Structure 1
Amino acid sequence: MQALAVSPGKSYMEWMADLFPETVSRPPLGGSAPEEEPRADAPLADRLRPRSLDQVVGQEHLTGPEGAIGRMVAAGRLSSMILWGPPGTGKTSIARLLADAVGMRFVAISAVFSGVADLKKVFAEADKAAQAGQRTLLFVDEIHRFNRAQQDGFLPFVERGTVTLVGATTENPSFELNAALLSRAQVLILHRLDAKALCRLLDKAEELQGPLPLTAEARDALVASADGDGRFLLNQAETLYAARVEEPLGPAELGHFLQRRVAVYDKDREGHYNLISAWHKSLRGSDPDAALYYLARMLVAGEQPLFVLRRLVRAAVEDIGLADPQALVQCLAAKDAYDFLGSPEGELAIVQACLYCATAPKSNAAYKAQKAAWRSAKETGSLMPPANILNAPTKLMKDIGYGKGYAYDHDADEGFSGANYWPDEMERQTYYDPPDRGFEREVRKRIEYWNRLRAERAEG
């Protein structure tokens, strides 16, 4: 294959057109690129791509009549947006269909291949198109890969409407995108495709290609193995079609054929989320044997051990908390042990943490305290703490009373001053109410002791 010299000034679309001139067409200045039927030998995922927004699978919360995108299309006017979601959930398809739905010129670039020169060219062409009365939808794939300065470069063109920006990212926009850019765009969250949506994709594939050579159980296992990624699912289906399998494969044969461990479901076809739910509730319900059974079901079916460990950590803080503070330590130690040993030896550390959590005393007091405290914080806004507990690093702050009358608890009897630490405009609240179980029995005794001292000193 002859090497291709790529000019640094070329846009992503031009670069792709040079690589694949038969498959990429540049959009004309005056409008969107014409929608072409994919070639007969195109990948299955390309042949099944949606032709309208109502054909997009699994994102009805956005594309439906009451969804953010559905409302914008109905109004005929788009605002800039960031599409945030896992791979294979339809971000690129939605962007292209949005342009078609409202009659905008569609331009796509990738942050992986594009730089400042490409952006300048895109914006210059968008300016010309605007003068001709044509609006431009600029789709930026992997937008989080642009650095902060490059992201700032979008701002003036978005503000004056030269382009309507539609960015796609698999990363959390709060961490990866500038606050200034986020303030000018809506963040729309795409869901990972659930089993129902993935099955609809397979139905479409079978309408086009014929029945898949799978038993019903293996079909469910194939759906579960996709982990919400529609593109991956269709690629796996295409592999099966190309193999021309004569007899339907079961779950075990499918896993061997695709060289990927595939979940083997029982006759009830319990799915990925059902097993997670059953496992977590078994932990919460202090049934170590049931918890171990569902853990085995997940790991044998190919669940990622680190995902299981994350759920264990969550159970340790949500359902055990301070009733046994060592539960969190055990879970984090299991994660380190698994990282150190790998599979399968490290899975015993996961088992140990699972059994520890299942047999630990249970309390959701910390979880409930968090929700209550967060609710108060939202309701009370920016109330100032009492002046006596504010730091006073400057003379002015001392003069206006910051730190005045502060009671240093270590100087008080029992190491407890009983001072008020709440804003003057707010009554004392009780968020944390530890039960009389496990370690929290001792915590409860301390709190009751401090409450008694506080009441006595308030009376004195």
Structure 2
Amino acid sequence: MDAMADLFADDLPAQPASSRSEPARADAPLADRLRPQNLGEVIGQEHLTGPEGAIGRMVAAGRLSSMVLWGPPGTGKTSIARLLADAVGMRFAAVSAVFSGVADLRKVFAEADTAAKAGQRTLLFVDEIHRFNRAQQDGFLPYVERGTVTLVGATTENPSFELNAALLSRAQVLILHRLDAVALEALLARAEGLEGPLPVTPEAREALVASADGDGRFLLNQAETLYAAKLPEPLDPAALGQFLQRRVAVYDKDREGHYNLISALHKSLRGSDPQAALYYMARMLTAGEEPLYVLRRLVRFASEDVGLADPQALVQCLAAKDAYEFLGSPEGELAIVQACLYLATAPKSNAAYVAQKAAFKSARETGSLMPPPSILNAPTKLMKEIGYGKDYAYDHDTDDGFSGADYWPEEMQPQAYYRPVPRGFERQVIERMEWWDKKRRERRGG
């Protein structure tokens, strides 16, 4: 998993693959000590490394073709490349596009030529291959075509956009998946087999896995931090968040009356009491509060507590802001009063606010799940070949302008974040959403 260690090792002539699988030092980072020793130990990429996978089949045949490993960070690209050389008895050489230039590549190719004359094939691993420019990428072509090297590139970027067409035509693109919760748990189990139980509660363990967002290296680094702390008691989720994340500086609230009055204004608006709301707003403005601060709070309230129950609430508040900036005090303060009264007398709904919190929480927990391939654009041939945009249902082509397609990631059940209330404009929104739900059920046979 340690691409940097490979890079610096290759400042010397590349060594035979067998020398690459020696156990890591006892004081090496946890991720390095847990790196797989054979392809069967690679976690989460069985679709490639298993007997039916592209890599599994190549290893079984004893011959590799050039390839590009495309996947998120921490999914095993470097480990797979190293182990591939071991599996088929090839010489292993590695460079990084971040640190290597033309001279480094010439040296690697010259050594590969020498090895080839001695009957030794070379697997050349190029980390961050997308960082080489187009001319540098073209430089690989003659050596790949002659068989001087078998190229294994690693990239986190879409090869369709970052790699030359000529290079792509000579290399198979293999897609690595982000590690799911099962794979990440397996990594933690390996860490615990080496270091002992993690000092976290079961709930904090789930939070730790979720925080990795599919990155095995990040997860092991977090685990190593926990082990190094020698904690006396297991951490719960809240304590884990404080321990692994930098604390946010506390804001010094030295004007208690200021915050008391804005709280009173907000709650009076929410309680639909225009008289009390107007009183507290007057208290603030006559005490010298900045009018634009009050307007910012009103704009926030329009989205948080009125929302789509009255979509004009936000428009009114923004218009009041424009009017105040245009007129100034004292004439512009009447526009602030108008916005305050509009909010207090508007139908209330916090459905948008609740939906935001639920959706953001879900986004943090699910990380980088891919949308279904049918709704992904496919501007390149490669993207079309792997299913991007296939079977997309264009809603405007249907009789009622609604296809009823499933837009959620395959690993995720559809969610209901937004639940409109039967007040104001949201009554109409409810009717529309119910009609759409009915059509979805009909078109999915349920």
Same-fold status (TM-score > 0.5): yes
8 Å CA contact 2:124, 2:152 repeated in 1: yes
> What is the one-letter code of the residue matched to 1:120?
R
Relative to 1, partners in 2 of residues 1:290 and 1:248: Cα closer, same or farther, differing over 3 Å? farther
Q: 1:116 aligns with which of 91, 102, 118?
A: 102
Aligned residues: 293
Question: 2:179 aligns to what?
Answer: 193
2:8 pairs with 1:16:
yes
8 Å CA contact 2:71, 2:156 repeated in 1: yes
8 Å CA contact 1:27, 1:33 repeated in 2: no
Q: CA offsets per residue over residues 5-48 of structure 1, 9 Å max, x none?
A: xxxxxxx989835xxxxxx7845566653432211111110000
Identity among equivalent positions (%) equals: 69
2:129 pairs with 1:137:
no
8 Å CA contact 1:195, 1:224 repeated in 2: yes
Q: 1:299 aligns with which of 326, 348, 360?
A: 360
SS in 1 for 2:174: strand
Q: 2:38 aligns with which of 41, 45, 52?
A: 52
How much has 1:117 moved relative to structure 2?
1.4
CA distance in 2 between partners of 1:215 and 1:236 (Å): 15
8 Å CA contact 2:210, 2:366 repeated in 1: no
SS in 2 for 1:193: coil
Question: 1:77 aligns to what?
Answer: 63
SS in 2 for 1:303: helix
2:102 pairs with 1:147:
no
Relative to 1, partners in 2 of residues 1:62 and 1:307: Cα closer, same or farther, differing over 3 Å? closer
CA distance in 2 between partners of 1:73 and 1:36 (Å): 21
Question: 2:73 aligns to what?
Answer: 87
CA distance in 1 between partners of 2:6 and 2:183 (Å): 34
> What is the one-letter code of the residue matched to 1:299?
F
> What is the one-letter code of the residue matched to 1:65?
P
8 Å CA contact 2:211, 2:365 repeated in 1: no
How much has 1:297 moved relative to structure 2?
3.6
Q: CA offsets per residue over residues 30-71 of structure 1, 9 Å max, x none?
A: 665343221111111000000000000000000000000000
CA distance in 1 between partners of 2:58 and 2:20 (Å): 22
Relative to 1, partners in 2 of residues 1:143 and 1:250: Cα closer, same or farther, differing over 3 Å? same
Question: 2:334 aligns to what?
Answer: none
8 Å CA contact 1:85, 1:190 repeated in 2: yes
Question: 2:252 aligns to what?
Answer: none
Gap runs ≥5 in structure 1: 1-11, 18-23, 262-287, 326-349, 368-433, 435-460
How much has 1:220 moved relative to structure 2?
0.6
Question: 2:219 aligns to what?
Answer: 233
2:19 pairs with 1:33:
yes
8 Å CA contact 2:17, 2:86 repeated in 1: no
Relative to 1, partners in 2 of residues 1:245 and 1:14: Cα closer, same or farther, differing over 3 Å? closer
- My pick for the range that moved more, 240-249 or 91-100, is 240-249
Q: 2:156 aligns with which of 170, 189, 193?
A: 170
CA distance in 1 between partners of 2:38 and 2:366 (Å): 39
Superposition pairs of residues 271-290 of structure 1, within 5 angstroms: none
> What is the one-letter code of the residue matched to 2:237?
P
Gap runs ≥5 in structure 2: 248-348, 377-391, 403-417, 421-425
CA distance in 1 between partners of 2:175 and 2:13 (Å): 28
> What is the one-letter code of the residue matched to 2:66?
S
Q: 2:209 aligns with which of 213, 223, 226?
A: 223
CA distance in 1 between partners of 2:183 and 2:350 (Å): 33
Relative to 1, partners in 2 of residues 1:320 and 1:254: Cα closer, same or farther, differing over 3 Å? farther
Question: 2:308 aligns to what?
Answer: none
> What is the one-letter code of the residue matched to 2:101?
G
How much has 1:290 moved relative to structure 2?
9.1
2:229 pairs with 1:243:
yes
8 Å CA contact 1:83, 1:188 repeated in 2: yes
Superposition pairs of residues 309-348 of structure 1, within 5 angstroms: none
> What is the one-letter code of the residue matched to 1:148?
R
Relative to 1, partners in 2 of residues 1:127 and 1:307: Cα closer, same or farther, differing over 3 Å? closer
> What is the one-letter code of the residue matched to 1:54?
G
CA distance in 2 between partners of 1:158 and 1:358 (Å): 60
2:113 pairs with 1:127:
yes
2:90 pairs with 1:104:
yes
TM-score, reference length from structure 2: 0.58
How much has 1:258 moved relative to structure 2?
0.8
